[in-house]
Chains A and B, each alone.
Chain A
Amino acid sequence: MIGQQRNPRLVTNAEREGSMKRTEWRARARRVAIGATAITLVAGTALAQGNGGAVAAEGEVGWTLSSVYHILAAHFPVGLWVTAYLFILIRSFSDSEFAVRVQRAIWPVVALGTLAGFVTYGLGLTIYPWSAITESPLGRNHILLATWTLSYWTVMSVLGYRFRRHLFDGAQRWITLALATIGMLVITITGTLGGSLTGTPSLVTKSLNWIGWNVYMTFYLPTWMLLVFAAGAVLLVVIGIVGHRAQAGPK
Chain B
Amino acid sequence: MARQTTYLAASTAIFAGLLVAAWVTHGTGVVRDDPERNIVIPDELTSTLQVRAAYDGERIWFRYRWPVERPAIFNDVLVYQDGEWVARGGEALGPNPEYLTEDRVAMMIDDGSVPLFSRYGGYITIGDGLTTFTGVPETDEERTKYLPSTRTDPNEFEAIRPESDLEMLRAAGQFLDLWQWRSSRSNPIGLGDDGFVADERGGDAGTGPYTTNFDRETGQPLYMFNPAVAGSPALALDAVIAGDVGFDDTYYLSAETAVPFDPTLDWQNGDTIPRRFLRPTDGSRGDVTQPSAARWDDGFWDVTLVRDMDTGNALDDKIFRDGGNYDLAFAVFRNSSTMRWHYVTLPISLGLEQSAQLVAERIEPGSEPDWTQPWTELTTFYPGQVTWGRLTDPRLHPGAEGIEARIPAAVRHSEEQLALYGVQMEFAEEIRTQWIWTLIASLGLIVGLGININLLMRRREEQQ
Which of A's residues lie within 8 Å of B, judged by CB?
Answer: 28, 31-32, 35-36, 39-40, 43, 47, 53, 55-57, 59, 61, 128-129, 131-137, 139-140, 143-144, 147-148, 151-152, 154-155, 158-159, 162-163, 166-167, 169-172, 175, 178-179, 182, 197, 199, 211-214, 216-226, 228-230, 232-237, 239-244, 246-247
Complex contact A159–B457 (CB within 8 A) = yes
B97 contacts the other chain (CB 8 A): no
The CA of A128 and the CA of B396, in the complex, are separated in Å by 10
- Nearest CB in chain A to that of B453: its residue: A159
B376 contacts the other chain (CB 8 A): no
The CA of A90 and the CA of B433, in the complex, are separated in Å by 42
B205 contacts the other chain (CB 8 A): no
Complex contact B395–A56 (CB within 8 A) = yes
Q: Report chain B residues within 8 Å CB of A232.
A: 14-15, 18, 445, 448
- Nearest CB in chain A to that of B9: its residue: A175
Complex contact A220–B26 (CB within 8 A) = yes
Q: Mark B1-43 against chain A: 1 for CB-CB distance below 8 A, else 0.
A: 1011101111110111011011111111110000000000000
Which of B's residues lie within 8 Å of A, judged by CB?
Answer: 1, 3-5, 7-12, 14-16, 18-19, 21-30, 393-400, 411-412, 416-417, 420-421, 424, 428-429, 431-460, 462-463
Q: How far is the CB of A106 from chain B (nearest CB, A)?
A: 14
Q: Report chain A residues within 8 Å CB of B398.
A: 128, 132-133, 135-136, 139, 197
- Nearest CB in chain A to that of B397: its residue: A132
Complex contact A233–B11 (CB within 8 A) = no
Q: Report chain A residues within 8 Å CB of B446.
A: 39, 148, 151-152, 155
Complex contact B438–A226 (CB within 8 A) = yes
- Nearest CB in chain B to that of A143: its residue: B439
Q: Report chain B residues within 8 Å CB of A222.
A: 25, 28-30, 434
Q: Report chain A residues within 8 Å CB of B449.
A: 155, 233, 236
A155-B449, A220-B438 known; A31-B454 Cβ under 8 A: yes
Complex contact B445–A246 (CB within 8 A) = no
Complex contact B450–A43 (CB within 8 A) = no
Question: Given A57, A163, A167, A175, which contacts B12 in the complex, CB threshold below 8 Å?
Answer: A175
24 residue pairs from A and B, CB less than 8 Å apart: A36-B451, A39-B446, A40-B447, A43-B439, A43-B443, A56-B395, A134-B432, A134-B435, A135-B398, A136-B398, A151-B443, A151-B447, A155-B449, A163-B457, A166-B459, A171-B8, A213-B27, A220-B435, A221-B22, A222-B25, A225-B25, A233-B444, A239-B7, A243-B456
Indicate the member of A36, A218, A244 with the most B CB atoms within 10 Å: A218
Question: Given A214, A220, A240, which contacts B30 in the complex, CB threshold below 8 Å?
Answer: A220
Q: Report chain B residues within 8 Å CB of A220.
A: 26-27, 30, 431, 434-435, 437-438
The CA of A84 and the CA of B416, in the complex, are separated in Å by 37
A144-B438, A179-B453, A226-B441 known; A219-B8 Cβ under 8 A: no
Complex contact A36–B450 (CB within 8 A) = yes
The CA of A98 and the CA of B398, in the complex, are separated in Å by 48
Complex contact B443–A147 (CB within 8 A) = yes
Complex contact B11–A240 (CB within 8 A) = yes
Complex contact A182–B16 (CB within 8 A) = yes
- Nearest CB in chain B to that of A67: its residue: B398
